[in-house]
């Protein structure tokens, strides 16, 4: 298609982004050396380029200038944010920090983005992550003084990708208060611009809730004001699985709807076009700051301002060039934005829509020549436009979906076709409700209609989410399909094609390859079961996955952290949802953990053991209530009874064994599939079984997993050769010291997880 022909600025923006992405992966010293070499080369080429005016030398000088700018701005950012704190890693420092953003603040802890304004008495301008226990007592704009321990940020990342999110904001290290009680408020930030804007957004959010308080109104507020953090986990999960997450992140779609409403309102008063443009531009700038200056809104505002500027200058406007110019401005002032998912998604999606825009116009013109009736033409044109936009945006953001999320929703075309048209009337009514909130009757009436639309959206997304249309991109064959697909797609975009519709050939070929590979993988995977034993300290779990269907057998206390770690492990094994969560005993923290876990992860069934004590019978009703609220099927199973899993497999859990000194039970779990089996035993199960006169049945298994959960063995256990399986896996050195094996026994220590395939 040759999209970069006659678009040198757009091509330069792509090269700039690529150079910044490379520079962010280099060390500070390496970045400096590249900058110096590029600067010297640029000066050496610039003089003959000016004298001779040869195109080749001019292009080379422009390329070297891009190198200087990209690597230079990355070095400057690292020098400002990383250099002051890096020498003080793993040491205590006295500092003053200003709170720039609150990532999270709850009972589990607080994570705040701060700027170090003073370090050991010297003025600084470095960014860092401030980690606090419990809810933060500080707010946006506050300046906090105290002594902090400087540490690596990776140690305090609660989920995969959190460290990258902080780096995207320019923070490279974390600060932990040496004594949180000694932190002092050096300056109150209540009156800072950032705090006032946040308060204003909060006031608008509360205005909506004061009219009607419901999940539907929370959705309206999220789409208008960017208050996504107020949405429940279930809503975020359903929108993500339905492929509609872009509706919850304010972007060009939202800005276009609001700008259109404002422009139509000014037309009613017959305002001249130039004045309307100025008012709209000022409003968009204000909206950018009110909603938190996200990169998606920033990109949309830049492109809109350039469009309006071209009108005043009477110049041609090229959207691709505007996109490249906006991206370059953001990256030059904040190079670490390249690591931000919001920046990546908004830039790639917009690029895809603009790059394939000509094809969409050609499809419409062909449809118009078919001689169809007008109403049928309009309907088909609307459907075709929706599907084309979804396809173009999906192709563009597919690299991020693959490398970051590892999954993609196949329901996105259907979801956009049904739900996206509802967003326009919803946002218009929401804006009118805010403007008329001073007249409660009118505001409540408008918001009531908007909430009905929002409820329809919530019901549709919940239904779509339940269809299970999420596809994992973590299969082994995926790179062999996607890498050639990306190469061909980029090549077809850059090269001028005689037939533009050849651009769809990579999409068709990749779709066919995926269909064939998934079919073959599914047929081959029916006869095998992957069993993953995962341990962290004394927390154990057994995970099973087959063709994307997954089961968690939680052998620990059922904490939220463990459940999420289990789920992340299963995601790496191609699972996108949990079919069964099996709890082996009861614990009070399971109630809160299950409530949060089920709100963010699709869970179909919950298996609970028969309660044996009064405390068990107190926890069981709470778990049943959560399952009922989340529409999760519940099975209360008996100990020592085989439970069928994955059609031809079974899981059998022994009676929990306790002694007077134990709080956690000692357990044994037997997993069989086909002719093979695996046995898990808690650390002290063999000892406890001997006390109760029971036999630890591990002789018939291919593998014995000696876990670390539960009580420690009280004495050394001798394992006779006749009862030793083919392999013994030891969860930790502490467990290993409690067992003695025959000299020829095959056993190994477990680093973190072990994977077995039963067939």
Beta carbons of 34 and 71 less than 8 angstroms apart: yes
Please report the pLDDT score of residue 11 as a whole number.
85
Percent of the chain whose predicted confidence (pLDDT) is above 90: 7
Among 371-375, 532-536, 552-556, 567-571, whose mean pLDDT is lowest? 371-375
Please report the pLDDT score of residue 725 as a whole number.
66
How would residue 647 be classed by pLDDT, with cut points 50, 70 and 90? confident
Determine the average pLDDT of the residues in 146-172.
74
Hey, is 254 helix, strand or coil?
A: helix
CA-CA-CA-CA dihedral for 554, 560, 566, 570, to nearest 10: 120
Determine the average pLDDT of the residues in 487-512.
80
- Indicate whether 491 pLDDT > 90: no
Supply the mean pLDDT for the chain: 82
What 8-state DSSP symbol labels residue 1?
-
Residues 410-455 pLDDT 10s: 888 888 888 888 888 888 888 888 888 778 888 888 888 988 999 9
Q: Which residues contact residue 623 at a Cβ distance below 8 angstroms, ignoring those fewer than 6 apart? A: 583, 590, 591, 594, 606, 608, 634
Token readout for 446 is 């408008």
Determine the average pLDDT of the residues in 95-111.
82
- Indicate whether 33 pLDDT > 90: yes
Which strands, in side-by-side order, build the sheet including 643-645?
Answer: 643-645, 649-653, 668-673, 676-681, 703-706, 727-730, 747-749
- Indicate whether 159 pLDDT > 60: no
Please report the pLDDT score of residue 340 as a whole number.
84
- Indicate whether 355 pLDDT > 60: yes
CATH code, 86-191 = 2.40.50
Token readout for 679 is 């046995």
756 or 615, higher pLDDT: 615
Please report the pLDDT score of residue 722 as a whole number.
47
756 or 699, higher pLDDT: 756
CATH 3.40.1710.10 given to domain 529-758: no
- What SS3 string covers 541-574? EEEEEECCEEEEEECCCCCHHHHHHHHHHHHHCC
Determine the average pLDDT of the residues in 75-79.
86
370 or 353, higher pLDDT: 353
- Indicate whether 363 pLDDT > 80: no
Q: Where in the chain is the domain with CATH 2.40.50?
A: 86-191
Pairing of strands 649-653, 549-554: unpaired
Among 502, 480, 481, CA closest to 491: 502
Percent of the chain whose predicted confidence (pLDDT) is above 70: 89
Q: Which residues contact residue 532 at a Cβ distance below 8 angstroms, ignoring those fewer than 6 apart? A: 542, 543, 544, 545, 569, 570, 573, 753, 754, 755, 756
Helix axes 215-225, 440-466, angle to 10 degrees: 100
H or E element that contains 755? strand 753-758
Beta bridge partners of 542: 533, 553
Determine the average pLDDT of the residues in 512-539.
86
Among 174-178, 320-324, 359-363, whose mean pLDDT is lowest? 359-363
Please report the pLDDT score of residue 713 as a whole number.
67
Please report the pLDDT score of residue 84 as a whole number.
76
Beta carbons of 650 and 254 less than 8 angstroms apart: no
What 8-state DSSP symbol labels residue 153?
G
Residues 2-27 pLDDT 10s: 677 777 888 888 899 999 989 988 88
What sign does the CA torsion over 126, 337, 473, 555 have?
Answer: positive
- Indicate whether 167 pLDDT > 50: yes
Look at the block and give the residue holding tokens 């010293």. Answer: 29
Q: Where in the chain is the domain with CATH 3.60.15.10?
A: 529-758
> pTM (2 decimals)?
0.84
How would residue 721 be classed by pLDDT, with cut points 50, 70 and 90? very low
Determine the average pLDDT of the residues in 49-64.
82
Please report the pLDDT score of residue 606 as a whole number.
92
- Indicate whether 161 pLDDT > 80: no
How would residue 720 be classed by pLDDT, with cut points 50, 70 and 90? very low
Residue 221 to residue 326: CA distance in whole angstroms: 27
Residues 213-268 pLDDT 10s: 778 888 888 888 888 877 887 888 888 888 888 888 888 778 888 888 888 888 88
- Indicate whether 759 pLDDT > 70: yes
Determine the average pLDDT of the residues in 570-593.
88
Determine the average pLDDT of the residues in 105-129.
82
How would residue 500 be classed by pLDDT, with cut points 50, 70 and 90? low
Token readout for 6 is 């006659």
Among 481-490, 531-540, 628-637, 647-656, whose mean pLDDT is lowest? 531-540
User: CA dist 345 to 398, 405, 407, 549, 731, Å?
Assistant: 9, 12, 15, 29, 41
Helix, strand, coil share (%) of the chain residues, nearest 5: 55, 20, 25
């Amino acid at each position: 298609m040759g999209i970069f022909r006659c678009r040198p600025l757009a091509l330069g923006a792509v090269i700039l982004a690529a150079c910044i992405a490379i520079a962010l992966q280099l060390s500070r010293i390496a970045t400096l050396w590249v900058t110096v070499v590029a600067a010297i080369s640029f000066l050496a080429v610039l003089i003959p380029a000016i004298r001779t005016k040869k195109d080749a030398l001019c292009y080379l000088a422009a390329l070297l200038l891009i190198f200087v700018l990209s690597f230079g701005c990355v070095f400057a950012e690292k020098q400002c944010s990383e250099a002051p704190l890096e020498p003080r890693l793993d040491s205590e420092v006295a500092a003053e920090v200003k709170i720039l953003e609150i990532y999270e603040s709850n009972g589990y802890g607080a994570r705040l983005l701060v700027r170090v304004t003073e370090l050991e008495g010297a003025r600084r301008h470095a960014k860092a992550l401030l980690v606090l226990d419990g809810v933060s007592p500080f707010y946006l704009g506050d300046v906090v003084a105290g002594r902090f321990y400087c540490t690596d940020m990776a140690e305090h990342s609660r989920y995969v990708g959190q460290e990258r999110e902080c780096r995207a904001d320019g923070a490279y290290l974390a600060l932990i208060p040496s004594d949180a009680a000694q932190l002092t408020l050096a300056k109150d930030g209540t009156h800072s611009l950032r705090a006032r804007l946040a308060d204003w957004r909060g006031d608008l959010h509360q205005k909506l809730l004061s009219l009607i308080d419901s999940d539907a109104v929370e959705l309206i507020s999220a789409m208008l004001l960017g208050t996504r953090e107020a949405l429940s986990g279930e809503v975020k999960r359903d929108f993500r699985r339905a492929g509609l997450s872009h509706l919850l992140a304010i972007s060009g779609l939202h800005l276009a709807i609001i700008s259109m409403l404002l422009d139509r309102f000014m037309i009613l008063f017959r305002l001249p076009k130039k004045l309307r443009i100025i008012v709209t531009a000022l409003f968009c700038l204000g909206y950018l700051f009110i909603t938190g200056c996200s990169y998606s809104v920033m990109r949309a505002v830049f492109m809109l301002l350039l469009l309006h500027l071209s009108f005043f200058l009477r110049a041609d406007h090229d959207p691709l060039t505007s996109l490249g110019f906006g991206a370059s401005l953001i990256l030059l002032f904040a190079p670490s934005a390249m690591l931000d998912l919001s920046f990546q998604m908004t830039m790639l999606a917009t690029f895809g829509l603009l790059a394939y825009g000509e094809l969409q116009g050609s499809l419409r013109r062909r449809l118009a020549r078919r001689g169809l009736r007008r109403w049928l033409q309009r309907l088909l044109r609307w459907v075709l436009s929706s599907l084309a936009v979804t396809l173009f945006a999906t192709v563009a953001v597919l690299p991020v979906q693959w490398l970051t999320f590892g999954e993609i929703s196949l329901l996105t075309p259907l979801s956009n076709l049904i739900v996206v048209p509802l967003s326009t009337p919803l946002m218009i009514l929401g804006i009118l409700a805010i403007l008329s909130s001073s007249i409660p009757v009118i505001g409540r009436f408008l918001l009531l209609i908007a909430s009905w639309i929002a409820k329809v959206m919530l019901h549709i997304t919940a239904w779509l989410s339940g269809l299970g249309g999420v596809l994992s991109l973590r299969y082994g064959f995926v790179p062999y399909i996607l890498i050639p697909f990306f190469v061909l797609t980029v090549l077809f975009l850059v090269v001028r094609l005689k037939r533009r519709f050849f651009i769809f050939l990579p999409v068709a070929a990749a779709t066919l390859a995926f269909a064939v590979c998934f079919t073959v993988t599914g047929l081959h995977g029916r006869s095998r079961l992957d069993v993953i034993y995962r341990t962290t300290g004394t927390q154990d779990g057994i995970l099973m996955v087959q063709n994307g269907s997954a089961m968690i057998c939680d052998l620990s206390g059922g904490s939220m952290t463990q459940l999420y770690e289990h789920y992340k492990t299963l995601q790496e094994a191609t699972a996108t949802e949990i079919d069964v969560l099996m709890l082996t005993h009861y614990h009070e923290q399971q109630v809160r953990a299950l409530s949060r876990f089920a709100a963010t992860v699709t869970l179909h069934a919950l298996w609970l053991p028969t309660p044996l004590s009064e405390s068990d019978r107190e926890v069981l009703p709470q778990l049943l209530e959560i399952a009922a609220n989340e529409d999760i099927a519940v099975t209360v199973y008996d100990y020592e009874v085989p439970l069928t899993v994955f059609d031809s497999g079974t899981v059998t859990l022994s009676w929990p064994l306790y002694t007077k000194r134990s709080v956690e039970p000692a357990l044994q779990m037997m997993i069989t599939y086909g002719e093979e089996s695996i046995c898990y035993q808690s650390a002290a199960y063999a000892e406890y079984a001997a006390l109760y006169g029971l036999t630890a049945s591990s002789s018939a298994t291919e593998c014995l997993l000696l876990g670390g959960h539960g009580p420690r063995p009280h004495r050394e256990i001798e394992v006779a050769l006749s009862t030793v399986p083919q392999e013994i896996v030891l969860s930790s050195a502490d467990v290993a010291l409690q067992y003695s094996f025959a000299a020829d026994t095959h056993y190994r220590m477990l680093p973190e997880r072990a994977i077995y395939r039963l067939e």
